[in-house]
């Protein structure tokens, strides 16, 4: 199976401009392709994960990726999938975020000479003369067509700023510049970027009389149609300081039964034949599939050692078969104890298992809290300082949240 056919089999491809031409280029390793990343935070997140995996797959097949960091477009903000305008960032913050991105991307992509490039569109966008730019690019864009684009239509009711309205033109200009500077002949992106990507191919055709291509990646949605990579506490980040390797592992370990095989196909590098065999799995076998998914993705993002630790910690809690040393830890200080003891509500709050004491009370009253495997039903339960010494105590809320509590 060649790389294009594998992408289809894994369910990764949503839309393409010219399938036969793209298939030929990708399979022969002749694609010089780019994917854009706007530096809206100091870490990539699960929403970027699919794009990074796709870049890795295509590079392994001999194609050349360009990671385009949006140092320029980041000053405007992409309206796609947004109900409101993004917060404006300073140039210093944007540069810091760009630096963080490159470090994380290097785990997926080989940036050595001739293998891949990282480019910042601030190089050409920030120096543009507004009047010259309008004369050069403006005549090639129909406002009527732009307003029909999905990324703009969904914003029209709440209001679309002229600043954001420029985004499609800026992204199209990126493709035009990359085509001329580096021979970039293809753009990949999320399926919500389709209109912007077509703008780029059309600009290249009109200005240069040459063909360029676009392909969108299937959005990573769960069985309920919602974007994956979000939790109640926010995004699932690739930075271990923002989302620990253990929490990252747990996110994937807890995906719905209906989503696990799709995630294995789209995100892991396991052979497609091996994943197809899991189609018949059910019941407890699906838990095994979730462990495989969580381990493979944690290894990909954080390395094998961290993946081993995360799996060991999870098994210690859920299977009583591993070491508790790799569980997430909360350290209590002497001042947390009153007369040598601490109550259950304080532990739940300080450990982050509950957002407040009132929420902790509800958690206990609803029967969702246990300590060292024993259910806690008394909201006035207290624990002596000595109980947290040594190995500590494992506090669990619900089926998925737990922490080992120790004293400093």
pLDDT tens sequence across 200-223 = 999 999 999 999 999 999 888 888
pLDDT above 50 for 310: yes
| pLDDT at residue 84, rounded to an integer | 42
pLDDT above 80 for 89: no
Helical residues (DSSP H) of 16-129, grouped into ranges: 19-27, 46-60, 91-105, 122-125
* CA quadruple 362, 368, 373, 378: dihedral sign: positive
Q: Please state the rounded mean pLDDT for residues 96-113.
A: 88
Distance CA 357, CA 378 (A): 14
Question: How many C-beta atoms lie closer than 10 Å to residue 256's C-beta?
Answer: 14
pLDDT confidence bin for 248, thresholds 50/70/90: very high
| CATH number assigned to the domain covering 3-217 | 3.40.50.620
Mean pLDDT for all residues in the chain: 86
95 annotated to bind ligand: no
pLDDT digits (tens, 9 = 90+) for 311-352: 988 887 665 545 566 677 888 988 999 988 999 999 999 988
Q: Where are the domains of the chain?
A: 3-217, 230-318, 329-407
- Which of 23-27, 95-99, 156-160, 385-389 has maximum average pLDDT? 23-27
Q: Please state the rounded mean pLDDT for residues 258-283.
A: 93
Higher pLDDT, 69 or 155: 69
| pLDDT at residue 325, rounded to an integer | 66
| pLDDT at residue 316, rounded to an integer | 75
167 annotated to bind ligand: yes
Higher pLDDT, 367 or 320: 367
| pLDDT at residue 318, rounded to an integer | 64
* CA quadruple 310, 292, 104, 44: dihedral sign: negative
| pLDDT at residue 326, rounded to an integer | 66
pTM confidence score: 0.76
Q: How many residues does the chain have?
A: 408
Picking from 329, 304, 303, 297, the residue whose alpha carbon sits closest to that of residue 316 is 329
Q: 155: which residues sit within 8 A by CB, 6+ positions away?
A: 79, 82, 83, 164
* DSSP designation for 228: S
* CA quadruple 335, 358, 376, 349: dihedral sign: negative
Distance CA 6, CA 3 (A): 5
| CATH number assigned to the domain covering 230-318 | 1.10.240.10
Residue with tokens 């891949």: 116
Q: Which CATH superfamily is domain 329-407 in?
A: RNA-binding S4 domain (3.10.290.10)
The sheet carrying 13-16 orders its strands as 13-16, 213-217, 186-190, 32-37, 64-69, 117-120
């Amino acid at each position: 199976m060649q790389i294009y056919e594998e992408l289809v089999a894994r369910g990764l491809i949503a839309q393409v401009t010219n399938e036969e031409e793209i298939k030929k280029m990708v399979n022969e390793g002749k694609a010089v392709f780019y994917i854009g990343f706007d530096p809206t935070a100091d870490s990539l997140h699960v929403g970027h994960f699919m794009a990074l995996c796709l870049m890795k797959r295509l590079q392994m097949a001999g194609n050349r990726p360009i990671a385009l960091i949006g140092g320029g477009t980041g000053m405007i903000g992409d309206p796609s999938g947004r109900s409101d305008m993004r917060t404006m960032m300073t140039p210093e913050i944007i540069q810091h975020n760009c630096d963080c991105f490159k470090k994380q991307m290097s785990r997926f992509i080989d940036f050595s000479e001739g293998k891949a490039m990282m480019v910042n569109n601030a190089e050409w966008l920030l120096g543009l003369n507004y009047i010259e730019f309008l004369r050069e690019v403006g005549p090639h864009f129909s406002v009527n067509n732009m307003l029909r684009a999905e990324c703009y239509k969904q914003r029209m009711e709440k209001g679309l700023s002229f600043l954001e309205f420029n985004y499609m033109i800026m992204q199209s200009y990126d493709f035009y510049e990359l085509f001329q500077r580096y021979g970039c002949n293809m753009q990949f992106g999320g399926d919500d970027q389709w209109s912007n990507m077509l703008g780029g191919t059309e600009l290249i055709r009109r200005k240069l009389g040459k063909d360029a291509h676009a392909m969108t990646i299937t959005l990573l949605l769960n069985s309920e149609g919602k974007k994956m990579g979000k939790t109640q506490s926010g995004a699932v980040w690739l930075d271990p300081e923002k989302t620990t390797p253990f929490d990252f592992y747990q996110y994937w370990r807890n995906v719905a039964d209906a989503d696990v095989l799709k995630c294995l196909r789209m995100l892991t590098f396991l052979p497609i034949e091996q994943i197809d065999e899991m189609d018949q799995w059910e019941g407890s076998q699906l838990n095994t599939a979730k462990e495989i998914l969580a381990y493979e993705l944690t290894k990909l993002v954080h390395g094998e050692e961290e993946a081993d630790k995360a799996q060991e910690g999870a098994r210690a809690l859920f299977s009583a078969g591993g070491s508790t040393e790799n569980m997430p830890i909360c350290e209590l200080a002497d001042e947390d104890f009153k007369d040598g003891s601490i109550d259950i509500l304080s532990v739940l709050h300080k450990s982050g298992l509950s957002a407040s004491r009132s929420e902790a009370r509800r958690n206990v009253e609803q029967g969702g809290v246990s300590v060292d495997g024993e259910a806690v039903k008394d909201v006035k339960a207290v624990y002596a300082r000595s109980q947290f010494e040594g190995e500590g105590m494992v506090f669990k809320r619900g089926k998925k949240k737990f922490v080992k509590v120790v004293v400093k």
